[in-house]
Every structure is written in structure tokens, then in C-alpha cells.
Amino acid sequence: MKIAQSAISAFKGRMLFDVPMKDYTSFRIGGNADVMAFPVNEDDLIEVMRFAAGKGFPVFVIGRGTNLLIRDNGIRGVVINVSEGFKETIWLEDDAAVAGSGVLLIELASLCKDKGLSGLEFAAGIPGTIGGAVFMNAGAYGKEMKDVVERVEAVDMNGQKHSFDNAAMKFSYRGCALPANMIITKAHLKFKKDNPDEIKKRMKELKEKRRATQAINLPNAGSIFRNPVEANGRSPLPSAGKLIEEAGLKGTKCGDAQISEVHGNYIVNLGNATAMDVLALVAMARDKVFKAQGILLETEITVVGED
């Protein structure tokens, strides 16, 4: 696929060609993308979206590349990387803000702590951007992004702007009902006032808990599987990590991929793991847990690209 820079001369951001996706994902795995565009603002995003739509090029959006596995033959079309733009946070009131989709979740959580605003304590230690966190309804320890999101602004494949309130997003466990052709550009967030020292204490406790159970220093994509829930939406069932551990799979390797020795729901890259290595471990974990417990694990990570 040939895409000439001159074809979208109004584009102000960077544009790279034949890009190794392993350099842009937390897993450090993945083949090359045909094109990667780094829009600096909404006008830039609209420019590249309209261009891609007009040419019939597929589009995929990333932020920091967490919760993501790129297959070994890479991605065709245009990868839009919002990590170099959309970084502004505007504080509207004492307890409300509009955050660009490229704002780091962990940095916004720290700002909220300093301002005495509660709601993002769970995000302490979670990598990724606001856009990705909203899209997947990121959460931990009983709290989720849906609890602080009032509204999002987005752009569709034809460059048209849209707005979706919390109800329209229809948040669910690790997901939402935002149409697949939408790219989040801004999130309108509402927090609760609290004592900064209390917020700091809660964040410290959650960080320590995360370090104690998820002290993983090797490249990974975060939790591989969703925690299973019963038909009523509650989750008294064992966690995915516990189920994988009980299946005796912690430490299991395939090539240079390994089910973490620290946490059963993490797969780590020991150095030169391929997507096929990771997917083999995913299949093995699902099969063994289902045979042992009758529970079919669902993946939480996004898997894209060509084998």
C-alpha cells in the first residue's frame, strides 16, 4: 500500500512509513504497519481520517499501545497514534475537567490528587491514555472510568464531529458501545472533592497492592483475560489469574513468551516473543481452564493485524 505524504499536505504532524509496531506497544511485539500518523490536533485528525476514508484505507488507533497485541505480519492501512497530540487538560470548575485523549491516565490521576479530587485513585500505576481508558472502561479495585465520565467528543471516519453522554456510551465491563468508526478526542470528566491527604493515602495503598501482586518488569500488555462473571453480572467466581494459576500454568513458556511467574493473567515477553507465541499460550490457558472448571475465559487485550 503506497501512501504519499504529499497527498495530505495539510497534515501538520509526523508521518512514518513501514513502522515496526513492536516499537509502539508495551508488549514489544508486532510486525510493521504501512503508515503511522501522529496528528497534533483535531484538525490534523480530521485531515488524515478523511484522506483514509476517501482512499478506502483501513484505520487503527493507538495511544501508548497497552492492552494490545499486534500480529506478526503487521497492520495494513493507517495507524493513527494520538500519543503526541491531544495532551491538554482544561479545568472547567473546581471538580470538572476536559482531558484530551492523549493525556496519560496516570498523570491525570496525580493532578487530581494534588487538587483534592477523588475518582481516579484506581488509576495509580495504570499505563495508557485517557482515550484508551475510556474506550475500554479501564478499572481496578471496584472502580471504573464510567464513574467519572460525563461525556466524550469523537470524530468519525468522514471527519464529522460527535458527542456522546455517559448513558449513550453504555459502559460495560472493560468496554463501551461507542461505534467502531469513532475516535475519542476529548473526555469530559467529573470528580468528587476530598481531602488530598486521604486521596494520597488511598493511591499509595493501591500502588502497594499492585506492586505486591503485579510486580512485572518484563514487557507485557496487562491483563490478558477478563475476570469471569456470572449471568447476573456479578463476579464471585475466581479471577482469571487464579484460574490460570490453579491450572498449573504459571511460568509456562512458548518460544520467548511466558505466562508470568508472578501473576497468572499476565503474559510476558522474555525478549523475542512473537504474537504466535503469545496466542499459543492464550489458547492453552483457555483450554485448560475450561476443561478444569468449565469456565471459558474471554480475552481483554485487543488483537489486530495479519498472521
Query: Burial code of 16-34, b = ≥16 C-beta within 10 A, e = fewer?
Result: eeebbbbebbbbbbbbbbb
Determine which one of 50, 174, 202, 210 is catalytic.
174
Q: Are residues 78 and 94 in the same domain?
A: no
229, part of any domain: no
The enclosing domain of 263 has a CATH number of 3.90.78.10
Q: CA-CA distance, 129 to 277, in Å (whole number)?
A: 27
Q: CA-CA distance, 179 to 303, in Å (whole number)?
A: 18
- Provide CB contacts within 8 A for 99, sequence distance 6+: 88, 89, 108, 130, 186, 187, 189
Q: Are residues 50 and 124 in the same domain?
A: no
Residue 103 and residue 129 in contact, taking contact as beta carbons nearer than 8 Å: yes
How many domains, the chain?
3
The enclosing domain of 163 has a CATH number of 3.30.465.10
Q: Are residues 102 and 30 in the same domain?
A: no
Walk along the chain (307 residues) and give the pLDDT tens digit of each residue: 445 444 566 788 899 999 999 999 999 999 999 999 999 999 999 999 888 888 899 999 998 898 999 999 999 999 999 989 999 999 988 899 999 999 999 999 999 999 999 999 998 878 889 999 999 998 888 899 999 999 999 999 888 999 999 999 999 988 899 988 899 999 999 999 999 999 999 999 888 887 777 657 899 998 999 999 765 555 578 999 999 999 999 999 999 999 999 999 999 999 999 999 999 999 999 999 999 999 999 999 999 999 8
Q: Phi, psi (5° rounding) for residue 84?
A: -105, 0
Q: For residue 43, give its domain range.
A: 5-84
Q: Are residues 179 and 133 in the same domain?
A: yes
- Provide CB contacts within 8 A for 303, sequence distance 6+: 69, 71, 275, 279
- Give all strands (DSSP E) within the chain, no chain letters: 14-20, 32-38, 59-62, 68-70, 75-81, 89-93, 96-100, 117-118, 139-140, 143-144, 149-155, 161-165, 183-190, 192-193, 253-254, 257-259, 267-269, 302-304
Chain centroid to Cα 170, Å, comes to 18
Is 223 labeled as catalytic in the residue annotation?
A: yes
Determine which one of 223, 226, 260, 286 is catalytic.
223
Neighbouring C-beta atoms of residue 103, cutoff 10 Å:
24
222, part of any domain: no
Where does a domain end: 142, 165, 198? Answer: 198
Residue 289 in grid coordinates = 481452564
The enclosing domain of 41 has a CATH number of 3.30.43.10
Q: Are residues 44 and 144 in the same domain?
A: no
Where does a domain end: 35, 68, 84? Answer: 84
Q: Are residues 187 and 256 in the same domain?
A: no
- Amino acid residing at 48: V
Is 110 labeled as catalytic in the residue annotation?
A: no
Which ranges in 63-154 belong to alpha helices (H)? 105-115, 130-135
Q: How far is CA 169 from CA 57, 65, 125, 151, 270, in A?
A: 26, 22, 25, 8, 37
Residue 207 and residue 126 in contact, taking contact as beta carbons nearer than 8 Å: no
